[in-house]
Chain A
Amino acid sequence: MHAYTTTQALVTILVIAAVTFFTRAFPFLLFGRKGNPPGYVLYLGKVLPPAIIAMLVVYCLKGVTPFTYPYGLPELISVTAVVALHVWKRNNLLSIFGGTALYMILVQVVFR
């Protein structure tokens, strides 16, 4: 059974889509017109990418449980492997595939 009627479900989905698009378009609507955006906006545009990538790494690992089994070990080992592979070979695909395969083995076989 559905909690919504079909119309209600469609409206909900359309609203989510519209609000999502609004959040993505917001800076362009605000600063995307003719002329250059103000200096602080360009400054944020420069410093935010590395900061947010680092933030997303932490966010991806948010489910890790350092104090209960498996103590974040699969994540710790796999992230270390990705960094080591990448510093060594600088090959994006090798680092990502290698790390992911290792992680899958760790969570499926080793730390069951």
Chain B
Amino acid sequence: MNKKTFQAALSATIPVMLGYLSIGIAFGVMLQTQAGYNFLWAGGMSVIIYAGSMQYLAVDLLARGAGLLEVVVMTLLVNSRHMVYGLSMLTKFKGMGKRKWYMIFSLTDETYALLSSARVPVGVEPKSYYFTIALLDQSYWIMGSLIGAVAGSLIPFSTQGIDFAMTALFVVICTDQWLTYPTRIPAILGAACALVALILVGASNMLIPAMLALILIFFIGRKQIEPKFDVMKTANGQEG
């Protein structure tokens, strides 16, 4: 990884840095105060699990000593959206050798969002750019959980609301895609499925039914939707 790649990846991941540091800190604080596990556990979990929403739930599982079957089922349900993410990365991760396994391991919501919208700067090798993005994202997450577990109560100003950086990141990517994609149908369908699921099954269980409905609709509407994508122009906006 050369300096230019690192700088480009660093600037692309700054929004995730803000988001991961803040929600990572919250995770470290929660694990310490609610389940009674110190920074070694927080850091270790962020190294080997590396899944934000699941680690939040894990605090609860650890605190009440949940059974293994419940742990397995809950992890499958909460992370099943990741099964979908890989589908759009099959070709992107091709030819990455050993690094491919790390890319698969580290495919969180945010890394997925960055990678699927990444415009590789001129003169930067795409594969090492992707790898550096993935690696930086996880390092922010680990740092956040360590800081939270060690010093969560010492931060001098209120960070309330800083996790909005994550929402803002998704909104920015969504806006970019809205302006540059040849069709807005997938975005509208995605938002619609999410809204309907949110109303019908509530906030904590919305993602899985929303994704199943979305995939079903994509299958049914393939003949109408796919041709609109084949005229896809290359997105050539400027770098952020």
Contacts and interface: CB of A to CB of B under 8 A. Distances in A.
Interface in B98-134: 100, 104-105, 107, 109, 112-113, 116-117
Interface residues on B, range: 35 or more
Given A12-B68, A46-B229, A51 B87 contact: no
A91 interface: yes
A18 to B, nearest CB: 9
A64 B164 CA distance: 12
A20 to B, nearest CB: 5
B62 A3 contact: yes
Contacts of B18: 96, 100
B88 A45 contact: yes
Interface in B47-102: 48-51, 54, 58, 61-66, 68, 71-72, 75-76, 79-91, 93, 100
B83 A53 contact: no
A28 B86 contact: yes
A69 interface: no
B149 interface: no
B24 to A, nearest CB: 16
Contacts of B200: none
Determine chain B's interface SS by DSSP, over half rule: helix
Contacts of B45: 13
Interface in A53-112: 53-63, 74-75, 78-79, 82-83, 86-87, 90-93, 95-97, 99-100, 103-104, 106-108
A8 interface: yes
Contacts of A63: 203
A25 B86 contact: yes
Contacts of A52: 81, 84-85, 112, 190, 211, 214
A23 B50 CA distance: 13
B48 A24 contact: no
B187 interface: yes
B187 A50 contact: yes
Contact of A55 (B61, B65, B193): B193
B187 A54 contact: yes
A53 to B, nearest CB: 5
A95 B193 contact: no
Nearest to A102: B164
A87 B179 contact: yes
A40 to B, nearest CB: 7
Given A16-B71, A58-B194, A45 B187 contact: no
Given A41-B90, A47-B186, A53 B113 contact: yes
Interface of A: 1-4, 8-9, 11-17, 19-21, 23-28, 31-32, 37, 40-41, 43-63, 74-75, 78-79, 82-83, 86-87, 90-93, 95-97, 99-100, 103-104, 106-108
28 contacts: A2-B36, A16-B61, A17-B48, A19-B76, A19-B79, A20-B50, A25-B104, A28-B86, A28-B93, A28-B100, A47-B225, A48-B84, A48-B215, A50-B177, A50-B186, A50-B187, A51-B189, A52-B112, A52-B211, A54-B186, A54-B190, A57-B174, A86-B171, A90-B237, A90-B238, A95-B171, A103-B161, A106-B161
